[in-house]
């Protein structure tokens, strides 16, 4: 009878690390969910226990805020505007770079320039950016969308260029022979083939823009009417106390759509990130 060999120490440590990481992620989600469905008295008695029932008064109080629908509309508008432009503009830029960087120093420099932007912390240019946008009168949702598009270029170009290099050039040559110009070749041939990467960029940037706090607090904090949901949650305070139950209910309105989006579309992220890993 064969005896089972004990797991190697490294394997045990890896499992412990994974379990610890899961708990670190799951515990704040647990607190958010249970607190959102508790009354104030229940939270005062035990902050970590399960609620006695599904109390929906916190959600009703959040929805009754006269500006709440405006906050949701602001978040949807900024996210849809930024991601929509990113989904079209960045593939076009990446296509031009990927097809010309081998024979043009300009495009190689442009690619390296975008890649270097990934390594520059936002805090380095936070103050100059705010001053510039103030001077141009763009401390608004329009200016915020432009900033998201500019910042999305760095990571987006890095992902797209690697993916586009895996697309055989023979497909584009065949389109050229059939009479397609460069624009037609891109939108009729290359862009549809790039669907996995496009879906990946859309999902990643949607999660980023929807949940971002730092840029909105710099550009939209002048008037509550311009707030997005993260700003609304940050400023969700009364004059004398922090209303945890209402705050966590507001958090759920923000995180649940993104959790569902990621749960249903995460396969596109894996497919898009691995599709250009090997050139065929």
Burial 111-135 (b: 16+ CB within 10 A, else e): beebeebeeeeeeeeeeebeeebee
Q: pTM of this prediction?
A: 0.81
Whether the per-residue pLDDT at 170 is higher than 90: the answer is no
Q: What is the pLDDT of residue 90?
A: 93
Q: What is the pLDDT of residue 169?
A: 83
- Which has the closest alpha carbon to 125: 228, 230, 231, 215? 215
CB atoms within 10 A of CB 238: 8
Query: Tens of pLDDT along 203-262?
Result: 889 989 998 988 998 888 877 888 888 888 887 765 435 677 888 888 888 888 888 877
More confident residue, 199 or 242: 199
- Give me 38's structure tokens: 């508790």
Q: What is the pLDDT of residue 32?
A: 84
CATH, domain 66-275, list 3.40.220.10, 1.10.3720.10, 1.10.460.10, 1.20.120.140: 1.10.3720.10
**What does the alpha-carbon distance between residue 130 and residue 73 come to, in Å, rounded to a whole number?**
24
Whether the per-residue pLDDT at 41 is higher than 90: the answer is no
Q: What is the pLDDT of residue 277?
A: 46
- Which has the closest alpha carbon to 231: 213, 258, 249? 213
Query: Tens of pLDDT along 110-135?
Result: 999 998 888 888 888 888 888 999 89
% pLDDT > 90, the chain = 20
Least confidently predicted of 27-36, 71-80, 83-92: 27-36
Binned at pLDDT 50, 70 and 90, residue 15 comes out as confident
Q: What is the pLDDT of residue 146?
A: 93
Q: How big is the chain, counted in residues?
A: 280
Mean pLDDT of 12-23: 88
Every domain of the chain and the residues it spans: 1-55, 66-275
Q: What is the pLDDT of residue 278?
A: 46
Least confidently predicted of 165-179, 209-223, 263-277: 263-277
Q: What is the pLDDT of residue 75?
A: 92
Element holding 231 (H helix, E strand): helix 229-234
Residue 240 per-residue DSSP state: S
**What does the alpha-carbon distance between residue 263 and residue 280 come to, in Å, rounded to a whole number?**
30
Whether the per-residue pLDDT at 142 is higher than 80: the answer is yes
Binned at pLDDT 50, 70 and 90, residue 157 comes out as very high
- The residue behind tokens 């226990």 is 49
More confident residue, 93 or 277: 93
- Which has the closest alpha carbon to 212: 196, 195, 233? 233
């Amino acid at each position: 009878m064969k005896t089972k060999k004990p797991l190697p120490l490294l394997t045990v440590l890896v499992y412990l690390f994974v379990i610890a990481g899961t708990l670190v992620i799951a515990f704040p989600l647990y607190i958010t969910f249970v607190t959102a469905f508790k009354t104030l008295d229940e939270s005062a008695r035990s902050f970590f226990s399960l609620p006695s029932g599904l109390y929906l008064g916190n959600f009703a109080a959040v929805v009754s805020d006269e500006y709440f629908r405006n906050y949701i509309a602001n978040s949807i508008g900024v996210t849809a505007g930024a991601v929509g432009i990113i989904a079209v503009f960045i593939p076009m830029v990446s296509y031009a770079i990927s097809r010309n960087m081998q024979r043009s120093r300009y495009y190689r420099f442009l690619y390296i320039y975008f890649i270097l932007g990934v390594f520059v912390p936002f805090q380095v240019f936070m103050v100059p950016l705010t001053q510039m946008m103030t001077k141009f009168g763009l401390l608004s949702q329009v200016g915020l969308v432009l900033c998201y598009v500019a910042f999305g270029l760095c990571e987006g170009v890095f992902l797209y260029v690697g993916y586009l290099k895996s697309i055989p050039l023979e497909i584009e040559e065949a389109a050229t022979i059939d009479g397609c110009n460069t624009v037609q070749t891109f939108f009729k041939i290359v862009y549809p083939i790039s669907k996995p990467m496009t879906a990946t960029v859309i999902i990643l940037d949607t999660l980023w823009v929807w949940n971002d706090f730092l840029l909105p607090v710099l550009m939209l904090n002048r008037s509550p009417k311009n707030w997005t949901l993260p700003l609304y949650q940050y400023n969700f305070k009364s004059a004398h106390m922090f209303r945890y139950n209402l705050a966590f209910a507001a958090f759920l309105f923000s995180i649940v759509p993104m959790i569902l989006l990621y749960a249903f579309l995460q396969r596109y992220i894996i497919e898009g990130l691995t599709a250009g890993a090997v050139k065929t």
